[in-house]
A and B are shown apart, each in its own frame.
Chain A
């Protein structure tokens, strides 16, 4: 028998479903930091992340009996963690965030870019031009200001770097819809970074 640390997720999940506690704990250890990071990115707050972690792994444990391996274990777990994070967001009352629409690219009457290449070059170097701690804070605020559907898709695809097909399966939408939401989020955040650079200068 393989040592738990070398077993695949699916093997561990099967053992855990049969009541093998160490197999379940190996899965927890394997995924806890990824779930923590996802929770921070989706909830916008490190203080909500511990609850999301607990909820996620309790839910995983309860659902192991019905996990049939139709999707990858990680996809299934990410879906549970995403839902737990969204529940946690809803539980907290928030001030309505100001939209990022204003940062979408602008065009002249002929459909050409209204901004100069230098503006775009600056946005691409936001991480060099803005203080690290300030950028960390502003990045979190930027994510908060995205519409929920865009935030989910952007966090899973671009920050957690899951393949588009996996994000689509996880959110229950077509890959084209994921690409569209991620694209809109990138456009808004790109302009937002450009604006941060302008303000910082």
Chain B
């Protein structure tokens, strides 16, 4: 089974999650071994989640935890 870059890119998510059968997997491995463009592409594909994750790390503003507990205590009456 001979692959071109477009085929490999289409299966890349399943490939990285190990969700391909051994034949498909082998075909991608063989293509990657000889394709500098795909190797570089995979690198950027794998870096994407990390870059987005780090760039969207929001932390709770000071005091919001107390506001939240106050709100919940107010709305949730203790059962007697």
Contacts and interface: CB of A to CB of B under 8 A. Distances in A.
Interface of A: 19, 21, 24-25, 28-29, 32-33, 36-37, 40-41, 46, 49-50, 53-54, 57-58, 61, 105, 107, 110-113, 115-118, 120-121, 123-127, 132, 135-136, 138-140, 142-143, 154, 158-159, 161, 164, 175-176, 179-180, 182-183, 186-187, 189-190, 193-194
B64 A53 contact: yes
A107 B72 contact: no
Interface of B: 4-7, 9, 12-14, 17, 19, 36-41, 43-61, 64-65, 67-69, 71-73, 75-76, 78-79
Contacts of B36: 117
A112 B37 CA distance: 9
A15 B47 CA distance: 42
A117 B40 contact: yes
A115 B45 CA distance: 14
A123 B9 contact: no
B5 A193 contact: no
A183 B20 CA distance: 14
Nearest to B10: A183
Contacts of B67: 50
A197 B73 CA distance: 48
A16 to B, nearest CB: 10
